[in-house]
Structure 1
Amino acid sequence: MEVGSPPKALTIRVVSDGRIGMENQALGLAEALQRLSPSEITVRRVKWRKAFDKLPSALKAPWMLDPASDDPLPGAGDAWPDVWIATGRATLPLSLMARRRSGGKTFVVQTQDPRWRTGDYDLVVAPRHDGIAGPNVLSITGSPHRISAERLAEGAKTFADRLESLPRPRVAVLIGGKSRAYDLPEDHAALLADRIATAVTATGGSLMLTFSRRTPEAAKAAMTARLSGLPGLIWDGEGPNPYFAFLQFADHILVTEDSANMAAEAASTGKPVHILPMVATKPADKFARLHADLRERGAARPFDGTLESWTYTPLVETDRAAREILNRLAVRNG
């Protein structure tokens, strides 16, 4: 490289099954790398043909991928990426193929607990609440995500005229829904809405509410009916998504306890995070460990019906994971 020439951009390949929540973990980590070092990011979405989807990962081969999938592996004569970041069960065999076929050129990162050949990836970035360990495992609070100061500021521009003038405190409410461990039946949703309305009214503040794809329709209807009289905005799913704007303009963030992603994203803002209880349908030890971790970091507390303020150092776990990748790449490349 010539003296004074810019460093070569890293090539990063993000691989997922296309589900937004999953893809955002890998993409968020790639974007954090890009903030730290010049990088070019490409995204590949894959799924297996129905006949092969349930096969153990060890038995899968690229020809079993659905024809609608992107080609995740470089073709003959194509360059391998410097970094491969994948997430989800569907990507596991492809990640190990990339590591083997690239001859070690590609640094392979898997997010979440792979639960299969954990020691065979270059790095596993896993939530601390998953409880896995190893020389190639980096445990972080929550999961990697796409939240950054720049992204929040950019996302806020579209909604500034609707949110900036709202009375303070502005309360962002992020509602999840039915999952393996939790449910949000109509009566519980109504109870939560009444408690939220009381807290917002008591402070003279305003509401910024968004539901997830998992929120039951009956729960949406119950909460909307009880909260629509407050100043603010309830997003109905139409038009641009105000999620980033809500996080940017919020003074408080209320998050249902079923979502590790939303809790970690909220904690990256430095704003008080209040955890809303849901109806547990089975033991949820992992979520309990996450919430305990967030409490220890000073970021989150159970919602007690009030909007008490506090401060803490915002979580920057995605950036920490990106720095770890760069450090390990530097060691590998000498």
Structure 2
Amino acid sequence: MPRVWVIKDKREGTGSQAISLADALGYEYEIKELDSSPFAKLPNFLLGNSLLSISETCKEKFRPPWPEIVISAGRRAALISRYIKIKSQGGAFICQIMHPGYTLNKIYDMIILPNHDARQGKNIVNFTGSPNRITKEILIKARDSWRSKFNSLERPITSLIVGGSNKYMKFGEFEAQDFSKKITRMHGSLKGSIVFTTSRRTGKIGKTISDQLRGEGCKPSLEYFWGAGGDNPYMGILAYSDYLVVSGDSISMLSEACASPGGVYIYVPPNFNSKKHKRYHEELYNLGAAKPLKGVFSNWDPYNFNPTFDMAEEVKKRISFGA
């Protein structure tokens, strides 16, 4: 069995992509979590072939014997996998998820990029969405763990998964009101139960959305606010929901929702200005994996998929043939 290292960024959405691909490969692996130094804020081309971006303690994790396979995700992890490639004298196969930033991209054996990034190259392999952990086995386990909580809810279960403001969009009072009104109209025809959960970026606007839903007579049957403590029902939401309404700012959340059995609606605020994200939304619409949230319910047989296993097969193929 090959020695496999997973270089994990502390940002959960990024690090989980690397772990998801490692799980799909089926080999035993060792997680090397990064602890950044102040130099990590510098662009990769200035950091060069060094470990300046990580702390002195973290540097001790990256010593021989070198692995046969390295899986990294994100710009910060890409710098470390590049270092390993050089120190192993090319012996390590480097699979980089997401664009590595302004660095020597040809040093990576395989770069996994989503189609909506609109980048191509000899060592670039394109897929729809991002690698994620949602499998049939994970969903079965989640159904067992959350049965008592979700079996008591009236069907259909419509779950709202909200991200938050980023450089591409603002999620403020106006967006909260727009979102809540669309959900209320949709729920008027669907009935059933509303489940509401937030993410790390949602912040105080999550409470605003909850209050507005209640004011519209659309009180959530189950709520979870990120960081509030207690068990996070996120996996139960993916396993039990008949419909999932996901804000369009998060590629990771949308990818996980589309790997789940429920029908996915994407909320795109009027001020959303990311061409890359919009390309991904259109790709999902064309596949039949999602529909835009317009406040009108439409029933369809959704296309549920997870690209992670196809990615893993491509890694194995390239290792075997030395691509």
Identify which of 227, 249, 254 aligns with 2:213.
227
Show the counterpart of 2:58. 69
Identify which of 232, 246, 255 aligns with 2:246.
255
The DSSP-based 3-state class of the residue aligned with 1:69 is: helix
CA contact under 8 A between 1:153 and 1:245: conserved in structure 2? no
Query: Deviations 1:32-77 (Å, cap 9, x if unpaired)?
Result: 112xxxx1121112244214631544534225521353644233xx
Show the counterpart of 1:4. none
Query: What aligned pairs does 1:1-334 form with structure 2 within 5 A after superposition?
Result: 8=1, 10-34=2-26, 39-51=27-39, 53-54=41-42, 56-57=44-45, 59-60=47-48, 61-62=50-51, 65-67=54-56, 69=58, 71-75=60-64, 78=65, 80-115=66-101, 116-217=103-204, 219-228=205-214, 230=219, 232-237=221-226, 238-280=229-271, 283-332=273-322
Q: Distance in 1 between matches of 2:231 and 2:249?
A: 24
Q: Which amino acid aligns with 1:306?
A: V
Q: Distance in 2 between matches of 1:312 and 1:162?
A: 25
Report how far residue 330 of structure 1 moved: 1.7
Q: Distance in 2 between matches of 1:220 and 1:106?
A: 44
Q: Structure 1: any 5+ residue segments left out of the alignment? A: 1-7
Change in Cα spacing, 1:306 to 1:85, as seen in structure 2 (3 Å) is same
Q: Distance in 2 between matches of 1:332 and 1:285?
A: 35
Report how far residue 108 of structure 1 moved: 0.5
Change in Cα spacing, 1:68 to 1:190, as seen in structure 2 (3 Å) is farther
Quick one: percent identity of the two aligned structures? 27
For these two proteins, the number of residue pairs brought into alignment is 316
Q: Distance in 2 between matches of 1:172 and 1:151?
A: 18
Q: Which amino acid aligns with 2:221?
A: G
CA contact under 8 A between 2:37 and 2:55: conserved in structure 1? yes
Alignment TM-score, normalising by the size of structure 2 = 0.90
The DSSP-based 3-state class of the residue aligned with 2:3 is: strand
Change in Cα spacing, 1:216 to 1:278, as seen in structure 2 (3 Å) is farther
Q: Which amino acid aligns with 2:123?
A: N
Q: Which amino acid aligns with 1:101?
A: K
Q: Which amino acid aligns with 1:223?
A: I
Report how far residue 25 of structure 1 moved: 1.0
Q: Distance in 2 between matches of 1:120 and 1:164?
A: 51
Report how far residue 128 of structure 1 moved: 0.8
Query: Deviations 1:134-175 (Å, cap 9, x if unpaired)?
Result: 121111111111111111222333321011231111112110
Q: Distance in 2 between matches of 1:99 and 1:304?
A: 48
CA contact under 8 A between 1:125 and 1:138: conserved in structure 2? yes
Q: Distance in 1 between matches of 2:52 and 2:206?
A: 42
CA contact under 8 A between 1:178 and 1:216: conserved in structure 2? no
Change in Cα spacing, 1:243 to 1:327, as seen in structure 2 (3 Å) is same
Q: Structure 2: any 5+ residue segments left out of the alignment? A: none
Query: Deviations 1:206-230 (Å, cap 9, x if unpaired)?
Result: 112110111130x212211133553
The DSSP-based 3-state class of the residue aligned with 1:286 is: helix
CA contact under 8 A between 1:270 and 1:311: conserved in structure 2? no
Change in Cα spacing, 1:197 to 1:139, as seen in structure 2 (3 Å) is same
The DSSP-based 3-state class of the residue aligned with 1:62 is: coil
Q: Which amino acid aligns with 1:240?
A: D
Q: Distance in 2 between matches of 1:56 and 1:204?
A: 51
The DSSP-based 3-state class of the residue aligned with 2:28 is: strand
Q: Distance in 2 between matches of 1:50 and 1:287?
A: 30
Change in Cα spacing, 1:25 to 1:70, as seen in structure 2 (3 Å) is farther
Q: RMSD across aligned C-alpha pairs, in angstroms?
A: 2.1
Alignment TM-score, normalising by the size of structure 1 = 0.87
Report how far residue 205 of structure 1 moved: 1.1
Q: Distance in 2 between matches of 1:56 and 1:112?
A: 14
Report how far residue 258 of structure 1 moved: 0.8
Report how far residue 284 of structure 1 moved: 0.9
Report how far residue 112 of structure 1 moved: 0.7
Worse-superposed segment, 102-111 or 17-26? 102-111
